[in-house]
A and B are shown apart, each in its own frame.
Chain A
Amino acid sequence: MERNMDRIYLDSNATTIVDPRVKEAMDPFFCQQYGNPNSLHSFGTEVHPAMRLAMDRLYCGIGAGDQDDIIINGCASEGNNHVLKGIWFDMIRQGPKNEILTTQVEHPCVRNSCAFLETLGAKVTFMPVNADGIVDAETLRRFLHPDRTALVSVMWANNETGLIFPVRELAEICRENGVLFHTDAVQAIGKVPVDVSRVPVDFLTFSAHKFHGPKGVGGLFIRKGLKLAPLLHGGEQMGGKRAGTVNVPYLVGMGVAMELAVENLAFEDSAVRRLRDRLEDAILAIPDTLVVGRRELRTPNTILASFRGIEGEAMIWDLNAAGVAASTGSACASESLEPNPTFVAMCISDDLAHTGIRFSLSRFTTAEEIDQAAAAIRRSAERLRGISSSYDKGK
């Protein structure tokens, strides 16, 4: 296995290492079985069994039924765009429903698609998170207007904090009220169980590279019987719902990655969680630090930590020099002076808005890596607080 033994990767919510078993499964579909699956000849048809197996693995992985669709696409950003813009074409454009209900903490691909649809006349409402940092059932009930809400879109788990949203409850409320429900499950697959046979979502999106598959391939689950205008028009691929030649090797890889993700859920919940908690305990042992969100409400691999008096990018710099890869919480990285809505809801001081550092583990993370990373974090915190103009006075 090729690994970077001298560097430690703790940024798995950004992307993950491709599992070598995934890479191996993809390999024959580059130089040997490279046919276009839409061709009539043997080059085309010989890839069908592998594609069917991959589709079976995806359907099985999220509990989809045979009458449901899983549209293979380029990424979760595409899937999220497809749902939001498709709903605009199919429902909002013709009325009478004109509202999309989403949250203040969605990924930019949801937020910016919504902002674009606002320019086309859709009404978009961004629900706040509660003191736990999540959108709860009560909030949804308060904002939901079945007569005008066309779609509710709430992420399954948050990319920055790892906080898990009560998607089942939210989806059930929407179902009861006859409102369509979409969830961006990109940070949930492989970290927590995702089963659409038990959670009545209408649309669900995911991306292979977040669960040890390749970049550039994702999936969009569409509940049986629902129509959704295509984003890409062209050939008959994906039943006309997404034109473009299917990326066969990537689909095959995503299938294997999904199967492994589901197989490893118990490992994720035990071993990865243990390592995460070990790192979290080490961080919290440093004075004046906090971690956003209660542990039991988060995906087992994620920590969004705040070190008082230390600007996030500065610590990322130090950690990078020490061979440790982490990231600033997405919202904190932007230069926007708008306070982070999660921080506001959780009563975290504005002074900490730029101090967020996200550490995200995977099933490939080792205990030695965690201990080395913890040491690097301690050294950086000490050094940067020695420079900081706000640490001494911030006490």
Chain B
Amino acid sequence: MAKNDLIGGALWEQYSAKVGERMNNPRHRGEISEEEAKALGARLVVADWGAEACGDAVRLYWAVDPKTHRILAAKFKSFGCGTAIASSDMMAELSMGKTVDEAMKITNIEVERSLRDNADTPAIPPQKMHCSVMAYDVIKKAASIYKGVDMASLAEEEIVCECARVGLRTIKDVIRINDLKTVEEITQFTKAGAFCKSCLRPGGHEKRKHYLVDILRDTRAEMEKEKIFAQADAGDFSAKNLIQKHRLIEKALDEKVRPALAADGGSLEVVDIREAADPRTVNVYIRYLGACRGCISSTKGTLQFIEDLLRQELSDTIRVIPL
């Protein structure tokens, strides 16, 4: 909150003149009939997106040339506010003349930019960005109908920020790669959360499945965990404390030994680990389980295999003693 935010209610003042014009006189409103599409030698695609109950619904009509996959004509109808109607009109315009694959690359940001009066001033205020996203989504829907595939297969990933179309994977990667520590940094790097701000934290404009604060916290926690593991695993075995030694021994057993024993229906458990100072040894006391119990090899070949493996993986001070 600051000086410019304290007096609200200037929603319409933040619309560009182009938004107003297209709201007053949408150029591409209307329908395309089967006959009209046929006359163009085109296939008719009709896609619906949104719901009246949610305050926004749009229907897109495309006449697509089945040979070139080019969109020969586009029209729309919309149940929505001024920005929804203006965005839908621009979306229809942008899709015309493109192939279906090209049209799928139209983003809501592109729709919004095309509605600007000048390059530096947003065409619509942040809380209306979702109206432009409707235009983006309905194109995806129309493309999926044309291609005869499920829309989910066209969606790249789970979207966190609907306004800027930023996905969960992208945000996590950016946090890791750039070692980001604040939500503001995520916004700077990805534009997620820069518009309606609903995805920043709970309690915003809209309820969301994912919030940047949670993604940041969870990703940082994962990174912290990985750091501890990495530190615990690195360095000289003999310098480690007993807990870390135990963990490394269990890990080696899990990865290399237990699968081999399991193939013969057996297993083992670590009963104790004792360190002796002179001669310097780490005694690992084990108990055989399952088919290994009483197996003739368990005190000879198998035992040797286990000890060699632990020595090779961790340290040659290890002695394995079956109980």
Q: Which residues of A pack against B, CB within 8 Å?
A: 309-314, 317, 320-321, 335, 337, 339, 350-355, 386-391, 394
Contacts and interface: CB of A to CB of B under 8 A. Distances in A.
A387 B24 contact: no
Contact of A388 (B23, B48, B78, B127): B78
A351 B53 CA distance: 4
Contacts of A389: 48, 57-59, 76-79
Contacts of B84: 311, 314
A321 B78 contact: no
Interface string B48-83: 100111111111000000000000000011111110
B49 to A, nearest CB: 9
A321 B85 CA distance: 16
B55 A311 contact: yes
B79 A311 contact: yes
A15 B269 CA distance: 78
A339 B84 CA distance: 21
Leading 5 A-B pairs by shortest Cβ distance? A389-B77, A313-B81, A350-B53, A389-B59, A354-B55
A147 to B, nearest CB: 34
Contacts of B26: 387
Contacts of B78: 387-389
B55 A335 contact: yes
Interface of B: 12, 23-24, 26, 29, 48, 51-59, 76-82, 84-85, 127, 130, 205-207
A352 B26 CA distance: 24
The interface residues of chain B, by DSSP majority, are classed as mixed
Contacts of A352: 52
Nearest to B25: A383
A284 B37 CA distance: 38
B77 A388 contact: yes
A336 to B, nearest CB: 8
Given A311-B79, A312-B81, 16 more contacts: A309-B52, A311-B55, A311-B80, A311-B81, A311-B84, A314-B23, A314-B80, A314-B81, A317-B82, A321-B24, A335-B130, A339-B53, A350-B52, A350-B53, A355-B52, A389-B58
Contacts of A391: 79
Contacts of B24: 321
Identify the interface centre among B51, B58, B80: most chain A CB within 10 Å of its CB: B80
A337 B54 contact: yes
Given A317-B23, A387-B29, A389-B48, A353 B80 contact: no
A159 B220 CA distance: 47
8 contacts: A311-B84, A314-B81, A317-B81, A337-B53, A351-B53, A353-B55, A387-B29, A389-B58
Contacts of B57: 389-390
B54 A387 contact: no
A391 B31 CA distance: 13
A317 B58 CA distance: 18
A69 to B, nearest CB: 32
A100 B52 CA distance: 35
Contacts of A337: 53-54, 206-207
A345 B276 CA distance: 78
A310 B55 CA distance: 10
Contacts of A355: 52
A380 to B, nearest CB: 11
Given A317-B12, A387-B78, A351 B52 contact: yes
Contacts of B80: 311, 314
Nearest to A328: B81
B53 A314 contact: no
Nearest to B83: A313
Contacts of B55: 311, 335, 353-354
B12 A335 contact: no
Interface centre among B53, B55, B57 (most CB of A within 10 A): B55
A311 B78 CA distance: 9
Contacts of A354: 52-55
A312 B12 CA distance: 14
Contacts of A394: 52
A387 B29 CA distance: 6
A377 B54 CA distance: 23
Given A335-B205, A387-B77, A389-B57, A314 B52 contact: no
Contacts of B23: 314, 317
A311 B127 CA distance: 17
Given A314-B85, A354-B55, A390-B57, A309 B12 contact: no
Given A314-B85, A387-B85, A335 B127 contact: yes
